[in-house]
């Protein structure tokens, strides 16, 4: 029991320190190239915090369990939006740069509609579906880079040398990489050893799945969001959440579906309709719309939105537990 406890604590330390390095590296990158924090959050940070899901889903797909990525993608979007993001602006409401925020939101809903059409109409995700999702991911990255050049984010001088008082570019990139690796390793240590500890003290397996494992897949986003909030970088946290949600659909699901096509799981149903189609996907659309659409109109996220989304997430978890 001593070894799991020590590894659990090590995982916690790696998560905290990794989040600190990752946010610092991301904000340094944003300042160096004069890119809005929200854009950095929706690209660099989002890719970094989604890497654990990418690796897990790809491994599962190669073993013939790509349907895991289906539930994980939808569940992660709901968790990221209605729990992690909601906590941040329930504590500290923030303003939104609609110009930077609009692009990842539009791409998310394009991907989500395509994802839902595959689920509702064909009830299957073919290899072609996965390739299309990966193309949406590539289009998003390409558009973001093009938009950055169009709006003059950064310059040749910025890229070649650091400004006075700034760390060299290689140190910033090293900090980003070290932070991402620390978060991924820390999350795995925390989940694996937390599960062992819970089993040893008699916690039911269903409770473990709903706590350690479920939260573990979103720990990178949670740590990054909290660290960014503490450091006063609310836009970075928001960009990370929206970007991570998009990448869960187009990168995580796209890669796993391309490797191993699958049909929509039908193990749990409501009136003959799979739960994911009757409840999960509609909730995913609702929480994202409730967070993003008012923010685009009012240019801010309010405490009421955060509290309401937390209530939605609590109800969603209770439903999943009793179904």
Tens of pLDDT, residues 88-138:
888 888 788 787 788 889 999 999 999 999 999 988 999 999 999 999 999
Best CA proximity match to 112, nearest among 84, 140, 91? 140
Please count the structural domains in the chain.
Answer: 1
Counts for the chain of helices (H) and strands (E), in that order: 17, 6
Contacts of 114 (CB under 8 A, 6+ apart): 132, 133, 136
Per-residue three-class SS string for 117-157 = HHHHHHCEECHHHHHHHHHHHHHHHHHHHHHHHHCCCCCHH
Which residues is 95 bridged to in the sheet?
300
Tens of pLDDT, residues 144-197:
777 766 765 554 444 444 455 556 888 888 888 888 788 778 767 766 777 677
Tens of pLDDT, residues 92-101:
887 887 877 8
The DSSP-derived string for 88-126 is: HHHHS-EE--HHHHHHHHHHHHHHHHHHHHIIIIISEE-
Distance CA 266, CA 74 (A): 15
Containing structural domain, residue 226: 2-322
Task: Assign residue 66 the CATH number of its domain.
Answer: 1.20.1420.30
Distance CA 104, CA 289 (A): 13
- pLDDT value of position 19: 66
Give the predicted TM-score (pTM) of the model.
0.74
Sign of the four-CA dihedral 219, 316, 253, 285: negative
Mean pLDDT (whole number) for 66-95: 80
- pLDDT value of position 175: 83
- pLDDT value of position 159: 44
Tally the C-alpha atoms within 13 A of residue 1's C-alpha that lie toward its C-beta: 5
- pLDDT value of position 135: 96
Selected residue with higher pLDDT from 106 and 209: 106
Selected residue with higher pLDDT from 134 and 272: 134
- pLDDT value of position 267: 66
Answer whether 101's CB lies under 8 Å from 299's CB. Answer: no
Residue 124 — φ and ψ, nearest 5°? -150, 150
């Amino acid at each position: 029991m001593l070894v799991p406890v020590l590894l659990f604590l090590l995982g916690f330390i790696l998560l905290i320190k990794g989040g600190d390095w990752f946010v610092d590296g991301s904000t340094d990158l944003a300042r160096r190239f004069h890119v809005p924090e929200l854009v950095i959050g929706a690209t660099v940070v989002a890719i970094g915090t989604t890497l654990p899901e990418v690796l897990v889903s790809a491994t599962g797909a190669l073993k013939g369990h790509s349907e895991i990525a289906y539930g994980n993608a939808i569940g992660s979007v709901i968790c990221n939006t209605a729990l992690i993001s909601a906590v941040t602006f329930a504590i500290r409401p923030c303003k939104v740069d609609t110009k930077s925020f609009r692009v990842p939101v539009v791409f998310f809903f394009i991907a989500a509609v395509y994802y839902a059409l595959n689920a509702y109409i064909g009830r299957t995700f073919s290899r072609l579906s996965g390739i299309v999702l990966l193309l949406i991911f590539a289009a998003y990255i390409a558009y973001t880079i093009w938009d950055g050049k169009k709006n003059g984010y950064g310059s040749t001088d910025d890229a070649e040398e650091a400004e006075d008082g700034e760390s060299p570019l290689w140190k910033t990139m090293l900090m980003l990489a070290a932070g991402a690796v620390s978060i991924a390793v820390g999350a795995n240590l925390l989940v694996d050893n937390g599960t062992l500890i819970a089993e040893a003290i008699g916690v039911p397996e269903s409770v473990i799945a709903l706590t350690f494992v479920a939260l573990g897949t979103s720990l990178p986003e949670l740590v990054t969001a909290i660290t960014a909030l503490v450091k006063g970088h609310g836009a970075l946290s928001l960009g990370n959440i929206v970007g991570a949600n998009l990448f869960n659909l187009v990168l995580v699901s796209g890669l796993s579906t391309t490797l191993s096509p699958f049909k929509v799981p039908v193990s749990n149903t409501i009136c003959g309709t799979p739960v994911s189609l009757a409840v999960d996907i509609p909730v995913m659309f609702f929480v994202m719309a409730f967070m993003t659409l008012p923010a685009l109109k009012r240019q801010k996220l309010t405490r009421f939105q955060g509290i309401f989304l937390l209530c939605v997430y609590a109800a969603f978890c209770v439903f999943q537990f009793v179904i």
